[in-house]
Amino acid sequence: MNRRLLIWLPFAVFVGLAGLVLYGLYRPDNTVVRSALVGKPLPEFRLAPIAPGKPGLAAADMKGGVRLLNVFGSWCIPCIAEAPQLMALKNRGVEIDAIAIRDTGPAVQRFLTENGDPYARVGDDPRSQVQLSLGSSGVPETFVIDAEGRIAHQHVGPINANEVDDILKAIEDAK
């Protein structure tokens, strides 16, 4: 191989890698996560209560009306940012239940006192077993559950103020 070409080879590799990185940075994001469980029944589960004065949560509790199931942690910063939107949904008549992931009762109580309490029930998932069975990969994550106990919609990440109407539409669509 010609020596001049060998001298330019590292530069060409660098330019190629830089181009690949720039492409990855500037291509449009695909923020839609397609869950394999949408349209399917909730997996069976029964979680003990974690918040004082609130019942635990079971899959059977999620039948009979459209409601939200929020997966959260008191230690989760995006969950704090999401709290006002969950309160706004509750104030608009949305029933919301929750699963607390790898948490403690006092920490959950403090979280609810400081950030508002939109939840009817809060179940304790100390090893994230139910979270994983739902196909949830992190917190916060919110599921719209229809009256038959099927997952109608999955929202990954915190619900932002501009997404409240989208969640209300998903709830309406699940009726």
Helix (H, G, I), strand (E, B) or coil at 94: coil
CATH number at residue 102: 3.40.30.10
Number of domains making up the chain: 1
Whole domain around residue 151: which residue ranges?
46-174
- pLDDT of the residue at 105: 95
- 12 found inside a domain: no
One-letter amino acid at 112 equals L
- 149 found inside a domain: yes
- pLDDT of the residue at 20: 77
- pLDDT of the residue at 7: 80
Q: What string of pLDDT tens digits covers the 175 residues of the chain? A: 577 767 877 787 788 887 777 777 776 555 555 667 888 999 999 999 999 899 999 999 998 899 999 999 999 999 999 999 999 999 999 999 999 999 999 999 999 999 999 999 999 999 999 999 998 888 999 999 999 999 999 999 999 999 999 999 999 999 8
Write the CA distances from 16 to 9, 12, 33, 71, integer angstroms. Answer: 11, 6, 30, 41
- 59 found inside a domain: yes
- pLDDT of the residue at 33: 54
- 39 found inside a domain: no
- 79 found inside a domain: yes
Give the contacts of 168 (CB within 8 A, at least 6 positions apart).
Answer: 89, 92, 94
- 16 found inside a domain: no
Q: Rounded to a whole number, what is the distance in angstroms from the first to the last CA of the chain?
A: 69
Tokens of 88: 């706004």
State pTM to two decimals: 0.80
- 3 found inside a domain: no
- 142 found inside a domain: yes
Distance CA 123, CA 70 (A): 10
- pLDDT of the residue at 19: 77
